[in-house]
């Protein structure tokens, strides 16, 4: 078995260190599958609903329950996210690729087609999602051309697990996964 050649970094960093160029970097992450979520909130200033698709959601800590995601500083959603205190993240099911595409589209009212409901606290969550988390924004850190947003989870809802669904004779949804610019579903057929 021969090892793959290691690509040499091609761009110089301002401090003299070499770094990958954007195309090389994107190629790495196209090969890394990610779950798909919709981040949503009600703008504290305007009252408008704001939402966007995120494949950058990570679990940071279970105690305290912290998660994080990133958003480009140039995003139309950034001004509302910069001033909100709470938001919701809906983790999409495999049949919701149309929802993901809608919330990734610029210049439209992403909520107009429906398929969501407001929590009692005002944050919108996507109906049919595998789960959702309502959280309090604890930190926004400028990193490169984006912001890393840390969120403390304060409430959640989770659909039946696959095991519970099978036990009750129901079909369990699987998570929506994004890999190499294509949506995928995982399930028993993809288990190793």
- Residue 167: pLDDT band with limits 50, 70, 90: low
Residue 8 pLDDT: 45
pLDDT in tens, 65-102: 999 999 999 999 999 999 999 999 999 999 999 999 99
Residue 88 pLDDT: 98
Is the distance from CB of 89 to CB of 132 less than 8 angstroms? yes
pLDDT in tens, 94-139: 999 999 999 999 999 999 999 999 999 999 999 999 999 999 999 9
Residue 172 pLDDT: 67
- Picking from 48, 35, 3, 21, the residue whose alpha carbon sits closest to that of residue 176 is 35
Dist CA 66 CA 52 (whole Å): 20
Dist CA 96 CA 117 (whole Å): 15
What rounded mean pLDDT belongs to the chain? Answer: 88
User: What DSSP designation does 72 have?
Assistant: E
Residue carrying structure tokens 């929802």: 99
Report the Cα 142 to chain-centroid distance in Å.
Answer: 18
Q: Which residues pair with 179 in a beta bridge?
A: 182
Fold classification of 35-179 (topology level)? Pnp Oxidase; Chain A (2.30.110)
Is the distance from CB of 111 to CB of 51 less than 8 angstroms? yes
Higher pLDDT, 50 or 160: 50
Residue 160 pLDDT: 60
Is the distance from CB of 43 to CB of 50 less than 8 angstroms? yes
Residue 27: C-alpha distances to residues 116, 117, 143 (Å) = 33, 36, 20
pTM for the complete prediction? Answer: 0.84
Residue 1 pLDDT: 45
Residue 119: C-alpha distances to residues 2, 41, 42, 102, 111 (Å) = 54, 10, 11, 21, 15
- Residue 161: pLDDT band with limits 50, 70, 90: low
Higher pLDDT, 63 or 166: 63
Q: Which residues pair with 38 in a beta bridge?
A: 53, 90
- Residue 186: pLDDT band with limits 50, 70, 90: confident
């Amino acid at each position: 078995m021969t090892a793959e050649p290691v690509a040499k970094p091609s761009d110089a960093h301002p401090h003299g260190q070499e770094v990958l160029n954007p195309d090389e970097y994107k190629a790495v992450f196209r090969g890394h599958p990610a779950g798909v979520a919709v981040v949503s909130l009600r703008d504290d200033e305007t009252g408008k609903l704001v939402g966007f698709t995120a494949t950058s959601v990570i679990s940071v800590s279970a105690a305290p329950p912290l998660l994080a995601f990133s958003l480009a500083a140039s995003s139309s959603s950034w001004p509302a996210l910069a001033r909100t205190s709470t938001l919701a993240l809906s983790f999409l099911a495999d049949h919701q690729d149309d929802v993901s595409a809608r919330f990734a589209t610029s210049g439209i009212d992403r909520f107009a087609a429906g398929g969501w409901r407001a929590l009692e606290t005002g944050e919108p969550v996507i109906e049919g999602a595998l789960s959702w988390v309502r959280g309090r924004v604890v930190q926004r850190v400028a990193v490169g051309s984006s912001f890393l947003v840390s969120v403390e989870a304060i409430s959640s809802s989770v659909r039946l697990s696959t095991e519970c669904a099978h036990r009750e004779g129901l079909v369990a949804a699987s998570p929506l996964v994004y890999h190499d610019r294509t949506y995928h579903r995982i399930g028993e057929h993809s288990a190793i």
